[in-house]
Structure 1
Amino acid sequence: MSLKINLAQGESILIGKAKVQNGGAGRCILIVSGSENVLREKRIMRERDATTPIRRLYFVTQSLYLTDDKPKLFTLYHQIAREAVAAWPMLAGAVTDVGELILVERYYDALMACHTLTEVERGLIEAAAGGGAAAEAAPG
């Protein structure tokens, strides 16, 4: 099965471990065949940007999605998941849901669930900085 990807000028994606960028003057269409995982630029997090507990969880989940050497990352994932729950106890259920997706090897779905959590965490941080009630931002 093939995946058709439409890239804007300058946009990049990861295909497995390779970064592919549209260097042309306009849009381009890529047809990707095979079993490599694909991740659009807007979903890619660099390690230096993993600065909060949930962002670190996202980064390690992204690494699980993109790598073939998953066993080495499982221990790190569990450690970071515990740290994230310790930092944000109200997100324990959502973090558990991400872990369950990983257990059944649905890594992309786990990554998208983590992406949602990064938005929730951002809201919690903003609410804490502003003194507002953060409990409303937690997923139900």
Structure 2
Amino acid sequence: MHISLRAGERIFINGAVLRADRKVSIELLNDATFLLENHVLQVEDATTPLRQLYFVVQAILIDPASADRALGVFRDLYTATLNSFSDEEIVSGLRNVADLVEAKRPFDALKVIRSLFLAESDILSKGGKAAPIQAA
């Protein structure tokens, strides 16, 4: 896997944060979990049900040492998020996300969640069913 980074850009690999001091291209030669900085969601941006779920799955990927705890949070939040939508595309996507997370494929789960952001935005802008999940 070849990855190109711009000067100052960060990448999260197996729980470590790396920052490029100049434009660089790297090649990952073995299996590694990674997330590019432009796909990292900040806590203050987790303002919708899907973005909250994304944030938790992101934590599973970025911090492997705390993945078991984040997985418990994911399972609770997943159920609440699934129940907050009636849209078939989103419900189907969420079920796929759960399967991917349980199969220890959080990177793929994040891609699926990102692909649902537009549909969620459309639903929320029309006053459809879905509201941010409040922490218990």
Q: TM-score, normalised by structure 1?
A: 0.76
1:35 Cα deviation (Å)? Answer: 4.4
Using the TM superposition, give the Cα deviation of residue 112 of structure 1 relative to its aligned residue in structure 2, in angstroms.
Answer: 0.7
CA-CA distance at 1:89 after TM superposition: 2.4
Matched, 1:85 2:82: yes
Distance in 2 between the 1:65 and 1:114 partners?
A: 14
Q: The residue matched to 2:4 in structure 1 has which SS?
A: strand
Structure 1 stretch displaced more, 96-105 or 6-15: 6-15
Deviation at 1:110, TM superposition (A): 0.9
Greater CA drift, 14-23 or 37-46: 14-23
Aligned to 2:10: 12
Percent identical: 22
What is the number of residues matched between the two proteins?
126
| 1:77-121 alpha-carbon deviations (Å, 9 max, x no partner) | 111112212322222222111101112222211111111122321
2:85 is the alignment partner of 1:76: no
Structure 1 CA distance for aligned equivalents of residues 31 and 62 of structure 2: 11
Q: Does 1:66 align with 2:62?
A: yes
Contact 1:65–1:111 under 8 Å retained in 2: no
List 4+ stretches of structure 1 deviating above 6 A. Answer: none
Choose 1 or 2 for highest CA Rg.
1
Please tell me the residue identity of whatever aligns with 2:113. Answer: C
Cα distance change on mapping 1:35 and 1:67 into 2, 3 Å: farther
Q: Please tell me the root mean square deviation across aligned C-alpha atoms, in Å.
A: 2.2
Contact preservation (8 Å) 2:15, 2:61: no
1:53-93 per-residue CA deviation (whole Å, 9 max, x = no partner) reads 11011011111222324322222111111221232222222
CA distance in 1, matches of 2:20, 2:123: 36
- The alignment status of 1:39 with 2:39, answered yes or no, reads no
- Residue of structure 1 equivalent to 2:101: 102
Question: Distance between the aligned counterparts of 2:14 and 2:44, measured in 1?
Answer: 20
Corresponding residue for residue 138 of structure 1: none
Kindly indicate whether structure 1 or structure 2 has the higher relative contact order, using CA contacts under 8 Å at least 6 residues apart: 2
Unaligned runs of 5+ in 1: 129-133, 136-140
CA contact (8 A) 1:13 1:40 kept: yes
The worse-fitting range, judged by mean Cα deviation, of 43-52 and 60-69 is 60-69
